[in-house]
Amino acid sequence: MKQSIHRTWHYLGILFGSFVLCNLAIAQNAAGADGVLVRPIQVAPHTYFVQGRPEMGNSTNQNFISNAGFVVTPGGVVVVDALGSPVLAKKLIAEIKKVSNQKIVAVIVSHYHADHIYGLQEFKKIGATIYAQGEGRNYLSSETAKQRLIASRVDFAPWVNENTKLIAADIWIDKAFNLKVGGVDFLISRVGPAHAPEDLMVYIPTEKVLFAGDLVFRGRIPFVGNADSKGWLLALDEIERLNPNIVIPGHGAYSTKPLEDIAFTRGYLKYLRESMAPAALNLDPFEAAYQSTDWSEYEVMPLFRAANRMNAYNVYLSIQAE
């Protein structure tokens, strides 16, 4: 009798263990075998986006730190930005196929920063036409782009590797361009130099949705880099004039209150300029200016430690160059 009870509990243990392992496998599969899930969020009748993580890019997150989106039209799917590694682009393409059986016909590049373009080659493979602003050619031919890719092959390995290439646009846009696909207008406007020299924003009037690229950040400290902060502030004015219902930023959650979220990015840029301008114009040391500035409003935000000091220093230098 005891042996029978022990045998029963033994089998139950095996069954329970199998159940747990099965559910773990299902959960792991749902999150992607590598743990990085690219999940589209619908924000308008035909518009979706995927939201990158509020982190610095690394091998664990596959450089999934930026957003991308897509619009389904009767004539095909139009994608905005290509994410930060080929594997992420493949995942995005797979997710688009779950939403629509329409062909992906175009990719619009908001700007040529690594976290937005390293997936372009996957869209090129499936025949999509790539659109970008003409200043992007200067980036592609620069030593900065070459060295950044070399470093990324180490920093984001194995997801960015020797097979990852810099991809040029098929169509280079100057100031403005109206792309019409399936009867849907995509109003593409150059708003750089701002965050980058080749900044583009994409407005879809029928959806009342604006893809703002890295002109708008939500839920984290913006990355300023070598931006033209004065031009960036002017670009934010352009977004407000369009009066979209929804703004999809380059980083962070989508916005249903664009004026409030634009105000955050604008406020941060203005604060950087106001804090750094006296020292920059008087040629006083940057370190003293940075240490004497009250950063309490921003220091609790994600990526403050990683980005804020560099942002302030670049604004300090850019003010001297104006």
Say if 7 falls within a structural domain: no
Q: What is the pLDDT of residue 16?
A: 39
Q: What is the pLDDT of residues 175-232, one digit of tens each?
A: 999 999 999 999 999 998 999 999 999 999 999 999 999 999 999 999 998 899 999 9
Say if 61 falls within a structural domain: yes
Contact status, residue 159 vs residue 86, Cβ threshold 8 Å: yes
Helix H or strand E encompassing 319: helix 304-321
**How many structural domains comprise the chain?**
1
Peptide bond into 193 cis (omega under 30): yes
Rg (CA), the chain: 23
Q: CB-based burial of residue 260 (10 Å sphere; 0-12 exposed, 13-18 middle, 19+ buried)?
A: exposed
Question: H helices within 100-142, ranges in order?
Answer: 114-117, 120-125, 136-140
CATH number at residue 133: 3.60.15.10
Chain center to CA of 6: 56
Q: And the tokens for 70?
A: 């897509």
- Does the pTM surpass 0.85? The reply is yes
pLDDT level of residue 33 (50, 70, 90 thresholds)? low
Q: What is the pLDDT of residue 63?
A: 98
Q: What is the pLDDT of residue 134?
A: 97
CA angle 53, 59, 61 (to 5 degrees): 20
CA dihedral angle for residue 150, residue 156, residue 162, residue 167, rounded to 10 degrees: -80
Q: What is the pLDDT of residue 220?
A: 93
Pairing mode, strands 129-133 and 47-50: unpaired
Rounded Cα–Cα distance for residues 57 and 47 (Å): 26
Q: Pick the residue with more confidence: 20 or 271?
A: 271
Q: What is the pLDDT of residue 69?
A: 98
Say if 162 falls within a structural domain: yes
Q: From 75, 104, 111, select the one nearest 89 (Cα to Cα).
A: 104
Contact status, residue 259 vs residue 210, Cβ threshold 8 Å: no
Say if 1 falls within a structural domain: no
Contact status, residue 169 vs residue 131, Cβ threshold 8 Å: yes
Say if 83 falls within a structural domain: yes
Domain span holding position 126:
37-321
Mean pLDDT of 4-30: 38
Q: What is the pLDDT of residue 32?
A: 53
Q: From 178, 183, 251, select the one nearest 211 (Cα to Cα).
A: 251
Of 7-11, 30-34, 149-153, give the lowest mean pLDDT range.
7-11
Say if 24 falls within a structural domain: no
Contact status, residue 90 vs residue 38, Cβ threshold 8 Å: no
Which of the 8 DSSP states describes residue 74?
T
Q: And the tokens for 195?
A: 């965050």
Q: CB-based burial of residue 238 (10 Å sphere; 0-12 exposed, 13-18 middle, 19+ buried)?
A: middle
Say if 46 falls within a structural domain: yes
Residue labelled with tokens 């920059």 = 280
Say if 12 falls within a structural domain: no
3-state secondary structure of 48: strand
Contacts of 225 (CB under 8 A, 6+ apart): 195, 196, 310, 311, 314
Q: Pick the residue with more confidence: 108 or 31?
A: 108
